[in-house]
Structure 1
């Protein structure tokens, strides 16, 4: 095994005399070191738990799956991630899960397209639950890629709908990370503000280096000087935590609207200063957990991983969806499973109906508007007493956008 990789055989505990087992290797490629390691390690923990619950031991065409789970450190670097992709393939992985970094997402799509064309007997499928540049299900869409999260355009459209409700908002400041995702967030913010609230003046449109800024004070000062009524940000991980610290320290009357401005590290840092001022649009259910089954699943995860948090429900969507496709296809062959995933509709453990749209492989799902809160929480983050609570829900039908994808399918 190459350096930067760890693996775990998830034993199904099956009597060998009564059932045949099929070995299945799943790889997770993400940041397991560096400034975004906390995000990657947390995401991997949640993914592994979902695989244990929904795939390991699952019966497919009369055989029960025995899953090997690989964790590979891509460091949110396209080149490093491609090295780990080859590592995963060499160890027999058929399914590649990935969360952080749209630049990595683009690299994985390109490499998997080439690999599958050259190796029709050894194809792999890419299940993406966090690299949400809309181009990945638009102009750069691929038959071998499925997006399990709402893309940037879907989330920002919903975010602007929330901002548009407040007629006192006259000025907006946009800030994000300087790579494909941050640029897509900025473009979407400007587009939907122009469409839905053309009276709002954009007083700042700032990109900063990803993962390199420790002190966001200069950016916070720009926000303060702009006299913005709202700040819109797609920042995530360490960049969201550090931005939140600086905005809190310098003080601003602006309300903050984000899509990753919550969770481990962030909610605790924001603390009291975010009450009544911080809103998020995201998928899934945290407070309230929406169904007894989802609450039980979350409680089991937290008991197994004390001191950690559950914040990526889309991880569970993806694993559930894959299991449903295995059964529908009667196989774990990536080509058969890819066709089975197209237009697959199912109900998640938290009670949401979701659909994997066939024409672009973009999951269609409800979204939730959440507020930073300390009251009414079943689950907080970092044992801080702060978390998020759902204030309204946006049905799937209201999140459906057109696509520019022209899918090339294998013959």
Structure 2
């Protein structure tokens, strides 16, 4: 392969990573703006409807190790194509059969598909872009943030046009573009399909203290993300906003989030301290939650901006941790599978727990107190991980 062909192949690969990652959030984040509508229309409790976001996140943790099996049996390229098709198909199914059992089943299979795709993409980045992992993680996290932003901002609009089943199902069309582009990916050097993904590191991450700190950090940042995505709109509605305006609040938050998804990895090239950016992100988060707790309806907007900075900064920083810590795709996959498996299982419980608390107390002050608790725990683990400076 010539240098020109190699550069072209890498360019297509970067674009494919972007489009694949865009599909990893809309099926989950589109639920938040319609949470109360779905609950009322299907006569559900808050805890029941919150399972539509908790179940896929739990699956994202439980089934991450299946990336090894899929890669071994089908290869990376075919695996991701099949899994993207599953995400699209089950998302579209919500429009044709808008019942609670179908919504719950689709949430399960969508979460399973996302779980398997994520470790494979991380290994791919480490193998093909070993000196530019921060930039490619920026592309990866930007794509997920963009997908979440589009879903948060447009789901309410689609709902106003054609109802909530159409609003949920419409996001399945995103997978079509991603599949077409993904099938054009060619490996410029070694076949990513041939990357050994046995998940066996020289030292097992399950026996490594820092790996456990990273798992808990990832878990709490993910818990914060999915809880806010699920419950920010209902909190705004409780304070007096309409569904469309609450959806706009989510759009503002998500727009800021994707800007930070892309800019934080770039800023790390000039100011490389991971700890600094983690603390800055958490500081904004604390301010945002306090505004929601104690300020009036007008302050929901600046709170959304602060929370967008927090979520947009924490996610790429958490994704970089196993890549910073290891030098081979095998070890990156092993650490990523462990961290995301445990982390997503932790975070899956939180939207459901918040739904239970709201059913019991009919007040979101407990929800916001939990958000502050997550931020406090993240600060603790940030300091525990600071003992070994991360470098590219």
Fold match, TM over 0.5?
Answer: no
Q: Which has the larger radius of gyration?
A: 1
When normalised by structure 1's length, the TM-score is: 0.29
User: Which structure would you say has the larger RCO, counting Cα contacts within 8 Å and 6 or more residues apart?
Assistant: 2
Which structure features the higher share of strand residues? 1
Which structure features the higher share of helix residues? 2
